[in-house]
Structure 1
Amino acid sequence: MTTDRAIDTVVYDFGNVLVHWDPRPAFAHLAPAVVDRFFTEVDFTAFNHHQDAGRSLEDGRAALADVDPRWAGMLDAYLDGYPRTLTGLVEGSAELVGELKGRGLRLYGLTNWWAQTFHHAEALVPAVGLMDGVVVSGRESLAKPDPAIFRLLADRFAVDPRRAVFVDDSAPNVEAAAAVGFRAVHFTTTADFRRALRDLGVPVEHETR
């Protein structure tokens, strides 16, 4: 299948698309049962989203203490152990980003990430350095799937969503991007993303290298 508008841009989510992320290794020094209780009691998924959306560390620490004072120190433990949460590059991701760059496509990042921890991605994920620009949710006080953050990226970097592919491992984020006009792809593996790109008329190789 080809589209009526040639794709000239690919917009990447980062976590679990370029690099695997798992928050639990940050707490490797604690008993698993303690970590499980912490994640459940504070609803870590919701807590993380608030931090992704730009909540300050001070307010985040206060939110943990409001649930239970014993959890307030867990934020510092998470920050100290953060490099361990990036558990490895997604297979084939770096090669595909390099190929797209070599083919002259514009590459951007649109990632839900804490402002205070994004420097770890910049240091540990080489593909991040190949992006022509990156929107980090924590720096903008906006987070996916809010449509406003997709529009912010499009405006800031003069991206025409109709000529751009957005890829993310989160189905709600993919749906939000599609609603804004992007050609949105739900990421499962790099090989499947390659196939999706070819279906959209982007001439990438059939196999990861």
Structure 2
Amino acid sequence: MNIVFDIGNVLIAWDPRAAFRHGFASDAEIDAFLAEVEFYAWNLEQDRGRSRADAIAAAREDHAALLDGYFERFHLTIQDKICETWSLMERLRAKGHGIYGLTNFAADTWPVALRVHPQLGEAFEDVVVSGHEGTVKPEREIYDLLCRRNALSPSDCLFIDDSAANADGARKAGWQAHHFTTPDALRRDLTERGLL
């Protein structure tokens, strides 16, 4: 079996608030700002391949400086590994399973992730980064792309993602999928599937 890992909030905790704490008095204020600027939709366009310059150009003028600062402080948002998931990945590797990565990640911030967590550059037989490919999960193309690039059969792939929509996208592409909530729940599922 080929095990395909999402990265954000599966292997690496992602806390976008951390990039904005210098500018706000509380996380509640940050959340209000993120809602006002529709941060997650804005950020998804970078995951789809939009450049930093175009992202800032698309922002309202009064939001541009804070949003540009997100790129400067991105490293603060990905400080913590989810160590238990990494341990499960290593157990799967030791069992002989293929280990791959499939992530919605901006081309401008992926190199930062590799600097903060060099293990990401060594963990996978291949990793598909959405910002390099111009397509994002849960669109069918990104799942098919990983299979084509690595000559994998979709039915031989198990995808692990913290987004239920992305896990469902994998199933629609013919993969098996696990909607990640906790490492313990993942371990139980992998055990029940006979993969550990």
TM-score range, shorter chain: over 0.9
Please say if residues 18 and 127 of structure 1, whose CA atoms lie closer than 8 Å, have aligned partners that are also in contact: no
Report Cα offsets for 1:159-190 as digits up to 9, x if no partner.
21111110100000011100111111000111
Structure 1 contact 21–86 (Cα < 8 Å) conserved = yes
Q: CA deviation at 1:141?
A: 0.8
Q: Which structure 1 residue ranges, 4+ long, deviate > 6 Å from structure 2? A: none
SS in 1 for 2:44: helix
**For 1:41 and 1:154, how far apart are their aligned partners in 2?**
38
Higher helix share: 2
| SS of structure 2 residue aligned to 1:113 | coil
The alignment's TM-score, normalised by the length of structure 2, stands at 0.92
The partner residue of 1:160 within 149, 153, 156 is: 153
Give 5+ residue unaligned stretches, structure 1.
1-7, 205-209
**In 2, are the aligned partners of 1:97 and 1:127 still within 8 Å (CA)?**
no
Range that drifts further, 187-196 or 172-181: 187-196
The match for 2:69 is: 77
- What SS does the aligned partner of 2:59 have? helix
Deviation at residue 37 of structure 1 after TM alignment: 4.1
What's the CA shift string for 1:108-151, capped at 9, x where partnerless? 10000111111222233355221111000011111101111000
Gaps of 5+ in 2: none
Aligned residue in 1 for 2:114 = 122
Q: 1:57 matched to which residue of 2?
A: 52
Q: Equivalent pairs: percent with the same residue?
A: 40
Q: Distance in 1 between matches of 2:119 and 2:175?
A: 22
Residue 122 of structure 1 aligns to a residue whose secondary structure is helix
| Corresponding pairs, count | 193
Farther-moved stretch of structure 1 (80-89 vs 136-145): 80-89
